[in-house]
Structure formats: C-alpha cells, structure tokens
Amino acid sequence: MAEVQANGLRFHVQHLRGGRATTDRPTVVLLHGLVLDNLSSLYYTLAPPIARAGFDVLMYDQRGHGLSDRTPTGYDVDTAVDDLTAVLKACGVTSPVHLLGNSYGGLTALHTAYLHPELVASLILVEGQCLDPEHSGAAPGAGGYAGGWVEDISNTLNLIAIGLECNPLGTDLVSRTARKAARMRATADALLNRTTLIEDVTTVRLLTSEQLAAVPCPVLALFGAGSNLVDSGPLLAEHLPDCTVEVFPDAAHALLRDAPERLLASVLTWLDTRSPASTAFTRRGTDYAARSSGYEAGAAGHDASIAAFDEADDADAVDEGAA
C-alpha cells in the first residue's frame, strides 16, 4: 500500500503514471466526497483513462476515509486544503495541477484554487456545491431545506448518524458482501458519531461572489439535471472569471454512477484542450493509448493494496471500520 506522511497524518495514496517522461502535461489530482466515499470511486472510473491519455493521476483517501488516518477533528474545508497541499508536497508534485473534485471534494478543490492559485492549472467540479449559502438553496419545487446546502447536508448527516447509532451492527456477517457492507457502515458510524465531521461541515463558510471572482484558473462545472445543485451552474458561470458549465440529462448528483461515459468524455476533452498531448500519445475517438508502462505498474500496485485490504476485511471488517 502506498502511504505518505503529510500534515501530521498517514495518507493512503495512489499515483498512476501517465508518461511524464515524454510529456509536460500537468498532474491530475482527484478528490473524492464525504463519508462513504474514498479514492476507489475515482480509481475504478476516471483515473485509468486519464492516465492512458498521458497524465500522471494522483488520488488519496482524505482524512478519516478509506485507508488514511482517522482523527477526531479536522474535517473543515481549510484543513482539507492544508491536507491537499501537504500531500502534493509529500508526493513531489511542485507544478500546477488539474484539480478534479467530486461532490464535497469540489468544495475543497475550489477553496484550494482560491487560497493557493499558484498550485492549480484548472478545476473540474463534479457536482460540487461551491457558492455562498445565500445562493445555495434548493431549486423551486425540489425540496430541501430553506437554509440552503449547508443546512441540508447537516440535517442529512445527522439523520444518518442517529440511524447508525440506534441500529448497531449485527454479528451474522457470513458473506464477503455482508462484511464489506459492515465495514462501510462502521466507517460511516465512526466518522459521523466519533469525530467532529458534522460540526465541521455545518460551520463551513462557502466562497462569496467576490471570492469566486478572484479565482484565476479556468473551471469546468458538471451537474446532473436532476440534482438539487444544478442551479449552481449559472451562478458559478456568472461569478467565476472563466467557467464552462455542462448539465447531463437523465442524471442526478451521482454522476460517476448516472453518467460515467459522458462524464469521462467531458473530462478528457477538457484536459486534452488545456494540455495538448505530445507526439508520444495518440487518440482514437474516446480511446486513449499511452506509450508508457507506468500506468500498468501503478494499477498493479493499487490492486495489490486493495487485495491486502480485502484480506484484512475478511479477518476483522467491523473492528477495522470502527477504529
């Protein structure tokens, strides 16, 4: 398992090599969402095709998630930005990166671009809520809470936390699927009921229109038409200096699940336009081929990490998740 020490913690990272020896394309950094998410949701969807397109791809389990250290505090956006910058330094990434954030990872990504513009070549926000609360209410008729996105997610997380605390795990975990589900449930319980994650999310201050106007890099904002965040798109386009918005029909918040092929095509087109490939790479339609063995080596290393984690899961899934 690949690990780095950053910001005083141990982070699980995966780095797919896309051929940096033959191209000066920026590294692409992928940030996952909250609670039940980890780097695997991006590794098994976006990361390999991006690496095959000739980019180095860096992912890590954020604080408290996946195989990274879980701390009792530190789940606010500013600390997440500090974690990201420390991970980049620990991994030797010194040039500006293309930064993609999914869901809450989009919030971290945009705050990073605002606080550290020198680190970000471009942003890709996948269903990221990034506006000030005065602009973050649900669309008319879409339900949600009058207090906007911050109150909405706080109420949702509190309801989940109460459900997990009132319905403890059983002991009859016979199948592998049941053990994995139990581990995910235990991890969520530990994050929501044994850390300050809910409080930290509740007190987040989203960027104002003036702060958004100070973000200098180009931004691609992607939303599902059925998401209650879709109204954020036009507002982001209004306030960010350079923002392209795409809305996917027949999709909601989970674009990685609802529209994986269309999402990947948009991401690859964005990256290709802003970082043209060298002659060492060829593109055939939506199929990218990289003349490098780095991706395969990185994938093999990640698969070995996952296999080792699954073996530990088989032995003691619940205890690992609740630690």
Following DSSP, what letter does each residue of 180-226 receive, concatenated? HHHHHHHHHHHHHHHSSHHHHHHT--PPPHHHHHT--S-EEEEEETT
pLDDT of 31 strictly over 80: yes
Q: What is the pLDDT of residue 179?
A: 63
> Percent of the chain having pLDDT more than 90?
54
Q: pLDDT value at position 155?
A: 60
- Using CA atoms, how far residue 236 sits from 1, 84, 167, in Å, is 38, 23, 40
Sign of CA dihedral 307, 309, 312, 318: negative
Phi, psi angles (nearest 5°) of residue 206 = -75, 160
Residue with the bigger pLDDT between 174 and 80: it is: 80
Tell whether pTM > 0.85: no
Chain mean pLDDT for the chain: 78
Which region among 56-70, 168-182, 222-236, 247-261 has the lowest average model confidence (pLDDT)? Answer: 168-182
**239-255 mean pLDDT:** 95
pLDDT of residue 223: 96
Q: Is the pLDDT of residue 307 over 60?
A: no
Q: Tokens 């087109």 label which residue? A: 269
Domains of the chain: which residue ranges?
3-137+205-317
- Within 8 A by CB and 6+ apart from 1, the residues are 12, 67, 304, 305, 308, 309
Position 303, amino acid: D
Q: Calculate mean pLDDT across residues 239-268.
A: 96
3-137+205-317 classified as CATH 3.40.50.1820: yes
Rounded Cα–Cα distance for residues 34 and 105 (Å): 8
Q: Render pLDDT for 131-184 as a digit per residue (tens, 0 to 9).
A: 654 544 434 333 333 345 555 655 665 555 556 456 654 444 445 566 666 777
pLDDT band at 289 (very low <50, low <70, confident <90, very high): very low
Burial of 156 (0-12, 13-18, 19+ CB in 10 A): middle
